[in-house]
Structure 1
Amino acid sequence: MDFNLRTVNVTRYITPLREGGSLPALAEADDDFKYVLKFRGAGHGVKALIAEFLGGEIARYLGLPVPELVFATLDEAFGRTEADEEIQDLLKFSQGLNLGLHYLSGAITYDAATNDCDEVLASKIVWLDAFITNVDRTFKNTNLLIWKKELWLIDHGAAFYFHHSWDNWKTTAITPFTLIKDHVLLPKATKLEEAHNEFTSKLTENSIKELVNKIPEDWLLWEDKSLSPEEIKEVYFQFLSIRLANAEIFLKQAQDARTTLI
């Protein structure tokens, strides 16, 4: 699996996308494609970008439909002409390496009341979100799009929530993910055991190590921690490896939550 993302230079800020508190934006890059840009200068900073990168690339590795991720560079002069002071500040503090998701033009938000989802795909997405501890993908905020009649996964920036406190990552790694009870696709996830068997055989420590090693060092220079970039990478690697080795724990949690639901 190739975890090497393309790098693009952002050439035009088009419009803010004011969902949530992170102020993502629609932007154009020097490859003439449009991207939903996630900024390092937003609320949760580079940790949200790391979660987006790891969550999105794990999903892609497992064969789930995710828009292409790219590293997106903002020049220091970018945004100086922006009239909105809040956006201008965001762009100023986001100079350097950010993250972009290929923009799915014409996509609509998934609505559980009107859109269907295959039971196998639903089960795979539920398993993924339990694995990466993704607190988003609820009925209120599905983070799913319908594009060209297919379901696409977006926005994994709220995953790996342990890294905001950091101290209890070993405990979190073996903790059932109780918030899975709120997952928008849980009612349709009748094939959790099958998804579990497929994904635990496909994911390996080697693939996890390869992915974690691709986290840009620029995103690992944390002022609030004394850890080196290599030490931070090792924690992400250990978290994912331990969680994978104990996947039965969050699988059972999801199965029990679904039983209660139905």
Structure 2
Amino acid sequence: MAIPQLRTVTVTRYVTPLREGGSLPAIAEADDGFLYVLKFRGAGQGVKALIAELIGSEIARALGFRVPELVFANLDTAFGRTEPDEEIQDLLKASVGLNLALHYLSGAITYDQAVTKPDAETASKIVWLDALITNVDRTARNTNMLTWHRELWLIDHGASLYFHHSWQDWEERARSPFAMIKDHVMLGYATELEMVDEQFKAILTPETIRSIVALVPDDWLHWDGNDATPEELRNVYAQFLETRVAASQIFVQQANDAREILV
């Protein structure tokens, strides 16, 4: 499998905030002429949300899902000085440097399974992905899926990998079931988890996982209260995911049990 790469752009214009996002992302234009959904390092969860977004999105892409292109987005110190909204101006000031952005899918609409019922394989694949990366944010209230050109796209993985917010007992958490899967928007249709489990474990080799984790820049891996080096932190992310893939039957069984209760 080809090693993933991310382009780097410079943000040139703040277009509009997306206030439905808790971290106040925004649509912005970059120096390549494209529009992006910009995720800010100065938002509430800081760089850890960007790390989860990057790793979760690129794992999804490796597994064959459609995910908007991710780019590193540089924010200059002068950017946003004329922004009249104080909250946004503070966010921009706190986000100078390297941020993360997703290619803006103009005209995309929120996926609605009442309109387009998912097939069992697709539902099972998405449930497996979210159980792997412990994504708490794919519920009926907020599906974080879009329909664009009649195809399903996955977005917003910043709430994944929540073990890194405490960084305690990560080995135990890697082998734990994912109880929040009971709220997954596609759980009721996910009847082929065992088949998907076999397919996806063959794709997510340690080499693939480590090539994705290697994308996380050093700049995002210096945390208050943690003296580990960037390489040591990347190694924990990789080991967490490798362990979780190897022990996938634990979260597959949890999802199957939760689906039986649901249906």
CA offset digits 1:84-110 (Å, max 9, x no partner): 011001001101110001111111111
Q: Are the equivalent residues in 2 in contact too, given 1:112–1:139 (CA < 8 A)?
A: no
- Alignment correspondent of 1:227: 228
- Alignment correspondent of 1:127: 128
Count of residues paired in the alignment: 262
Corresponding residue SS for 1:175: coil
Give the superposition deviation at 1:22.
0.2
- Alignment correspondent of 1:247: 248
- Alignment correspondent of 1:143: 144
CA offset digits 1:176-209 (Å, max 9, x no partner): 0011010001111121111111100111011111
- Alignment correspondent of 2:162: 161
Corresponding residue SS for 1:82: coil
Q: Does 1:236 align with 2:230?
A: no
Q: Which runs of 5+ in 2 are unaligned?
A: none
CA offset digits 1:97-140 (Å, max 9, x no partner): 10001111111111232232222111111000000000000011
Give the superposition deviation at 1:20.
3.1
Q: Aligned partner of 2:152: which letter?
A: L
> How well do the aligned residues superpose, as a CA RMSD in angstroms?
0.9
2:129 and 2:86 map into 1 onto residues whose CA distance is: 38
Please give the TM-score of this superposition, normalised by the length of structure 2.
0.98
Give the superposition deviation at 1:48.
0.1
Q: Aligned partner of 1:24: which letter?
A: P
Q: Are the equivalent residues in 2 in contact too, given 1:220–1:229 (CA < 8 A)?
A: yes
Q: Aligned partner of 1:32: which letter?
A: G
1:233 and 1:22 map into 2 onto residues whose CA distance is: 24
- Runs of 4+ with >4 A deviation: none
- Alignment correspondent of 2:48: 47
Please give the TM-score of this superposition, normalised by the length of structure 1.
0.98
2:202 and 2:252 map into 1 onto residues whose CA distance is: 14
| Identical-pair percentage | 65
Corresponding residue SS for 2:225: coil
1:50-129 maps to which residues of 2 (within 5 A)?
Answer: 50-129=51-130
Q: Does 1:190 align with 2:191?
A: yes
Q: Does 1:259 align with 2:260?
A: yes
CA offset digits 1:17-39 (Å, max 9, x no partner): 01232000000111111100000
Corresponding residue SS for 1:71: strand
2:197 and 2:150 map into 1 onto residues whose CA distance is: 26
Q: Aligned partner of 2:228: which letter?
A: L
1:71 and 1:2 map into 2 onto residues whose CA distance is: 16
Q: Aligned partner of 1:161: which letter?
A: Y
- Alignment correspondent of 2:23: 22
2:113 and 2:20 map into 1 onto residues whose CA distance is: 19
1:2 and 1:185 map into 2 onto residues whose CA distance is: 30
Q: Aligned partner of 2:47: which letter?
A: V
Q: Aligned partner of 1:158: which letter?
A: A
